[in-house]
Amino acid sequence: MILSMTGFGRSEGVYEGKKITVDLKSLNSKSFDLNIKIPFRYKEKEYDLRKLLNDRVQRGKVDCYVNIESLDDASETTVNQELVSSYISELKKIAADGPEFEYLKMAIRMPDAISAKSEELTEEEWNFLLGLVKGALQNFENFRQTEGKILQDELQRNINNIKSYLAQVEPFEHIRMDSVKERYRNSLSEFDQLDETRFYQEMAYYTEKLDIAEEKVRLTQHLKYYEEVMQQENLNGKKLGFISQEIGREINTLGSKANHAEIQKLVVMMKDDLEKIKEQTLNVL
């Protein structure tokens, strides 16, 4: 079954006056590459989040964003007025002729002048966040499955095209060999004596050199194997990439041995579909 490396998932919920949102998105990559941005209060759990995402996402360039939005009217920060007043008094002793507002600006920047409301992360809040991350992952995986189904249909269509072009090669094979025989016989007819034995030896050599039966058989097998892996195996992107390379080798050999304009046209069309397969395979998980 095909899964796309491209994915998106979101989950959100409210916990004790805070709206927490988790966003996941990914693009194709050869390995697992995670970029995670979370609020400072959850930093102690970053390793656990990374491990969970690594186990579930498997592969891709992944962005994970966790955002907190306060829904309470009360401010999350407080000004330590007594400490700020003390700072201002000390600053005036140093420079008594300065503007009052300048003292305030400097005092606000001093240590502990402003403090943020801070509470330890509870087990309950962590479990709530974990549930949101798992919910985002589920939506993310559903997205990957939907995209994977579309991707699989496109890959199957291109595989079928190559099969169809390969089937169209056969009628031209006998015509091709008859043409080679005729050209070779015409060339030899210019000589007074024609050694029939040597003629047939040469034709046997060219027939073997231009024979594409093995390439056709191997190409058919590779196409069938690609379909089997695509339909039956999970996390098959890399394997499908290797098989597509083998398909390409057989098509290239077929083209180099073709020696016929119509077969060459079919080979070009096969290559066009193969390029689409290779490009699409890069996005398979």
Distance in angstroms (rounded) separating the CA atoms of residues 142 and 136? 10
pLDDT of residue 190: 63
CATH number for the region 7-74+122-144 comes to 3.30.230
Relative to beta strand 60-70, strand 18-27 is antiparallel
Tell me the average pLDDT across 174-201. Answer: 66
Q: What tokens appear for 62 in the block?
A: 């992944």
Mean pLDDT of 228-242: 89
Question: Which DSSP letter does residue 109 get?
Answer: T
pLDDT 10s digits, 68-107: 887 765 555 677 788 888 887 877 777 767 677 777 778 7
Interatomic CA distance for residues 27 and 279, integer angstroms = 14
Task: Give pLDDT, residue 195.
Answer: 64
Who wins on pLDDT, 192 or 133? 133
Residue 184's alpha-carbon distances to 105, 199, 206, 212, in angstroms, are 97, 8, 10, 20
Distances (CA, A) of 120 to 37, 124, 126: 19, 11, 11
Q: Which amino acid makes up residue 178? A: D
Q: Which of 22-26, 190-194, 206-210 has the lowest mean pLDDT?
A: 190-194
CA dist., res. 34 & res. 135, Å (int): 18
Q: How far apart are CA 271 and CA 268, in angstroms?
A: 5
The residue ranges of every structural domain in the chain are 7-74+122-144, 77-116, 145-281
